[in-house]
Amino acid sequence: MSFGEKFGRRGPTVALHAGGVGHEFAQRQGMTTSPTETRMSNLSYVTPHADSPWQTYLSQVDRVLPYLGSLAKWGETLKRPKRALIVDVPIELDNGTVRHFEGYRVQHNLSRGPGKGGVRYHPDVTLEEVMALSAWMTIKCAGVGLPYGGAKGGIRVDPKALSMKELERMTRRYTSEIGIIIGPQRDIPAPDVNTNGQIMAWMMDTYSMNTGSTATGVVTGKPIHLGGSLGRVKATGRGVFVTGREAARRINLNLDGARIAVQGMGNVGSSAAELFVQAGAKLVAVQDHTGTLANPNGFDMADTMEVLKRDGGIANYKNAERIDNEAFWDVDCDILIPAALEGQITAARANRLKAKLVLEGANGPTLPDADDVMHDRGILVVPDVICNAGGVTVSYFEWVQDFSSFFWSEDEINVRLDKIMVDALRHIYETSERHKITLRTATFAVACERILIAREERGLYP
């Protein structure tokens, strides 16, 4: 019997016991929403298909509602974004012609604080994808206990096809268009796939020009001299490492000599790989948009970083064998780190994995059916909503430092990050063991409880 059959579609008989917030879940009487009543929210503006990110997110919510006792009556709140803005972004190209891009900013939930979430530049970005990414931000911020709601933004564009000047014009126009809903106390964007510190600097400057005063706190992930934080660039990878280290300890997997395979060697994947290699692990396979390479004796990390910096991809790394992209999922390894895109681990691939531990550096890399397969096969999955929360945690530090105009040392930041991640994972782990649920459902349970308590306490306006 799969995990989904055991819990997700039938539901447990006990609700969660909430700690430290004055809500005694054991006293909550029964469920107001039975699992069989849970359904896809019927939004006219999006039609999720079976494997789409938004559908994956909805399935994850359905799995947790039965654990929320009477709070489940607010469950529909989680299944629809509070606000979704679609903007037209017209710019003049260097050759004098005008081109229009489609942009989005979605604020999924603001019950616990201002929106927080990155901006993605990718030709395949859709409103539905941004909705899912914004919802995972809501869960992530609540799961780690940050005082934020969830948001996300994106533009349908291949940024590599634009010149720097065109990229700047597009970023500035997009920032102006979404300026009506962002702000240091409203919604704070950050980098995501194909965006970086330079893009954040342009966003900060554009917002500041429009409002008439320098507002460093409107975005995070900025360059250091513009109010950025030490440690932010590598924070997400560091969080993947910290949660991975803690999870490995719990399953008696020694990092010294452990073999890791990484999909996506960008900001997240490469930072995480470096830290694992420093801890004695061996990088045995890498896949990125330029191909897949394997070396059972381990990649040389310094050479790997050099190639990535020089070429923007792994393809020209010499000391490894090029293998078929699909063979990546059969590689003999102990730890698998998907750190690229959504929907990568399908049920079929999950059945072939050799890893004992999967660390979700990317957002939404695993489909719900694959979750069940990995659970049944005894593979421990540290889900995105806790595993990659290191980035937003240091973004939170950056935001706090910007308000106080007092900046911390990199050591202080890394120590605080480590403690927040370890404490959050411990609480989630205990929840998972107490209720015999996966770490993903446990993270959703902890987070949704916090979000819906805030929802209930704030009350319904008017």
| 309 part of the active site | no
Q: Out of 62, 192, 371, 402, which residue is the one contacting ligand NAD (CB under 6 A)?
A: 192
- Which one of 57-65, 78-86, 185-193, 240-248 is the stretch in contact with ligand NAD (CB under 6 A)? 185-193
Q: Residues 288-307 vs ligand NAD: string with x where CB under 6 A?
A: xx------------------
Q: Please tell me what DSSP assigns to residue 187.
A: E
The CA distance from 261 to 272, in Å, is 11
Q: Please work out, in degrees rounded to the nearest 5, the angle formed at the alpha carbon of residue 287 by the alpha carbons of 281 and 293.
A: 75
If the CB atoms of residues 93 and 315 are measured against ligand NAD, the closer one turns out to be 315
Residue 129 binding ligand NAD, by CB under 6 A: no
- Which one of 207-215, 333-341, 408-416, 420-428 is the stretch in contact with ligand NAD (CB under 6 A)? 333-341
The alpha carbons of the chain give a radius of gyration, in whole angstroms, of 21
Q: Please tell me what DSSP assigns to residue 183.
A: B
Residue 244 binding ligand NAD, by CB under 6 A: no
Q: Out of 134, 194, 414, 432, which residue is the one contacting ligand NAD (CB under 6 A)?
A: 194
Hey, what are 173's tokens?
């126009």
Residue 33 binding ligand NAD, by CB under 6 A: no
If the CB atoms of residues 194 and 441 are measured against ligand NAD, the closer one turns out to be 194
If the CB atoms of residues 333 and 453 are measured against ligand NAD, the closer one turns out to be 333
Nearest to 321 by CA among 289, 295, 288, 300: 295
Taking the complex as a whole, the smallest distance from the CB of residue 366 to ligand NAD amounts, in Å, to: 12
Q: Out of 60, 175, 287, 431, which residue is the one contacting ligand NAD (CB under 6 A)?
A: 287
CB 270 within 8 A of CB 237: yes
Hey, what are 235's tokens?
């924070």
Residue 339 binding ligand NAD, by CB under 6 A: yes
If the CB atoms of residues 77 and 393 are measured against ligand NAD, the closer one turns out to be 393
Residue 331 binding ligand NAD, by CB under 6 A: no
Q: Is the peptide bond before 462 cis (omega within 30 degrees of 0)?
A: yes
In this structure, how many other beta carbons lie within 10 angstroms of the beta carbon of residue 340? Answer: 20
Taking the complex as a whole, the smallest distance from the CB of residue 338 to ligand NAD amounts, in Å, to: 8
Nearest to 221 by CA among 404, 410, 452, 394: 394
The DSSP result for 5-51, as a single string, is IIIITT--SSPPPP-SSS--GGGS-S-SS-GGG------TT----TT
The catalytic position among 79, 116, 140, 152 is: 152
Backbone angles phi, psi at 339, to 5 degrees: -140, 40
If the CB atoms of residues 100 and 310 are measured against ligand NAD, the closer one turns out to be 310
Backbone angles phi, psi at 220, to 5 degrees: -120, 170
The CA distance from 423 to 287, in Å, is 31
If the CB atoms of residues 190 and 437 are measured against ligand NAD, the closer one turns out to be 190
- Position of minimal CB gap to ligand NAD: 266
Taking the complex as a whole, the smallest distance from the CB of residue 139 to ligand NAD amounts, in Å, to: 12
The CA distance from 49 to 40, in Å, is 11
Residue 263 binding ligand NAD, by CB under 6 A: yes
Taking the complex as a whole, the smallest distance from the CB of residue 94 to ligand NAD amounts, in Å, to: 24
If the CB atoms of residues 35 and 313 are measured against ligand NAD, the closer one turns out to be 313
**In Å, how far are 47, 54, 55, 81, 148 from 41, measured between CA atoms?**
10, 11, 10, 11, 24
Number of H helices, E strands in the chain: 14, 12
Residue 191 binding ligand NAD, by CB under 6 A: yes
Q: Out of 31, 193, 200, 248, which residue is the one contacting ligand NAD (CB under 6 A)?
A: 193
The CA distance from 3 to 303, in Å, is 42
CA atoms within 13 A on the CB side of 427: 20
Taking the complex as a whole, the smallest distance from the CB of residue 229 to ligand NAD amounts, in Å, to: 12
Taking the complex as a whole, the smallest distance from the CB of residue 335 to ligand NAD amounts, in Å, to: 16
Q: Residues 415-444 vs ligand NAD: string with x where CB under 6 A?
A: ------------------------------
Per CB under 6 A, residues contacting ligand NAD are 191-194, 236, 263-269, 287-289, 313, 339-341, 361-363, 388, 391
Active centre residues (catalytic): 152
